[in-house]
Chains A and B, each alone.
Chain A
Amino acid sequence: MRALQASTSYSAGLGISSVAAPPSRPRRRLGAVAKVEPTEKSIEIMRKFSEQYARKSDTYFCVDKGVTSVVIKGLAEHRDTLGAPLCPCRHYDDKAAEAQQGFWNCPCVPMRERKECHCMLFLTPDNDFTGQEQAITMEEIRETTANM
């Protein structure tokens, strides 16, 4: 295997808590898949959390608010289904176990320790994709995810 390491990866520090069979997914998918939308309440909670944490960590939202909106919705969806805002930009062997373990619950450990958010939700000022804002409205979230 030829490895070209562009930068540090999380896998070295990540302790995968379980290699058990994947959990039974909470929703059945039949034929044409209807996307599961998070509740308004969870979206609002994660929106407020994102604004607050961006201010606290001196990070900014992406210049493309669509990215921010999608991630906030992903966090809200995991909050609804798992009880914790598990990072939506990862694939897990066992989501429930990971949510309980906490490493990837937003704000995840890499974010808390090194301000590394691979979801592009919280971006440091030196990032190419960083915008100027630390706020996002529900209206913006609705508009930018309307056609998804």
Chain B
Amino acid sequence: MQTSIISFGAPSPPQPPNSSPCSLKTRQPNTLFFTSTSNNRASTLSTQTLSRKLICKPPAGKYLSDDYLVKKLSAKEIQELVKGERNVPLIIDFYATWCGPCILMAQELEMLAVEYENNAMIVKVDTDDEYEFSRDMQVRGLPTLYFISPDPKKDAIRTEGLIPIQMMRDILDNEM
């Protein structure tokens, strides 16, 4: 399996503001649409039609984690991230829908995101969606990873092809 690692200088960036939307859900039996069977769970999700005073605030569901930790961003969002200020390394994963090794890489990056939590920022870019940006970043083989240090003096590192998770850990721990 072919892998190449290249590093080069790049400016450093910021941390996006944390925003976790709280969704209010109200559950009440809706006898209009459900017959009472043991399997039915009656539920309505909308509070829009209800005009009643809530005695206590319903659970916000803020302890539920997202399905995927590695988010797909647009070229503009990535550029803002890179240009802004950051104090953690940034990993950008360039992938394509029908690239097989990209699937394996995505799984590894999810594991890495769990391990590093807030100590690294991991995002991904669909090269079919962001054609021009991928071309400008000289992406060729997929998957391609860019490791960008928060220190503007350090070179960014680029890898091409599927790399072991340990190599990613080594780069994050030693090179960033």
Chain A residues at the B interface, C-beta cutoff of 8 Å:
1-11, 14, 22, 25, 29, 33, 35, 62, 64, 66-68, 70-71, 73-75, 77, 88-91, 93, 116, 118-121, 127, 129, 148
Of chain A, the residue at the smallest CB distance from B143 is: A89
Q: Does B146 contact A (CB under 8 A)?
A: no
> How many residues of chain B get a CB closer than 8 Å to chain A's CBs?
38
Interchain CB contact under 8 A, A89 and B141:
yes
Interface of B is mostly: mixed
| A35 neighbours in B (Cβ, 8 Å) | 97
Picked from A93, A118, A120, the residue with its CB within 8 Å of the CB of B141 is: A118
Picked from A4, A11, A66, the residue with its CB within 8 Å of the CB of B140 is: A11
Interchain CB contact under 8 A, B96 and A88:
yes
Assembled-state Cα–Cα distance A25/B131 (Å): 10
Query: Would A68 and B100 be within 8 Å (CB), given that A89-B141, A91-B127, A93-B135 are in contact?
Result: yes
Picked from A5, A64, A89, A127, the residue with its CB within 8 Å of the CB of B142 is: A89
Interchain CB contact under 8 A, A71 and B100:
yes
Picked from B8, B104, B141, B161, the residue with its CB within 8 Å of the CB of A2 is: B8
Interchain CB contact under 8 A, B4 and A91:
no
Which chain B residues (135-174) contact chain A, with CB distance < 8 Å? 135, 139-142, 144, 155, 157, 159-163
Interchain CB contact under 8 A, A89 and B99:
yes
- Can you name 9 A-B pairs with beta carbons within 8 Å? A9-B2, A10-B141, A70-B99, A74-B96, A88-B99, A89-B142, A90-B140, A91-B94, A148-B97
Query: In the complex, given contacts A7-B2, A119-B101, what are 14 additional A-B residue pairs having Cβ atoms less than 8 angstroms apart?
Result: A3-B7, A4-B7, A6-B5, A7-B4, A11-B140, A25-B131, A29-B129, A66-B103, A70-B98, A73-B98, A89-B96, A93-B135, A120-B104, A129-B1
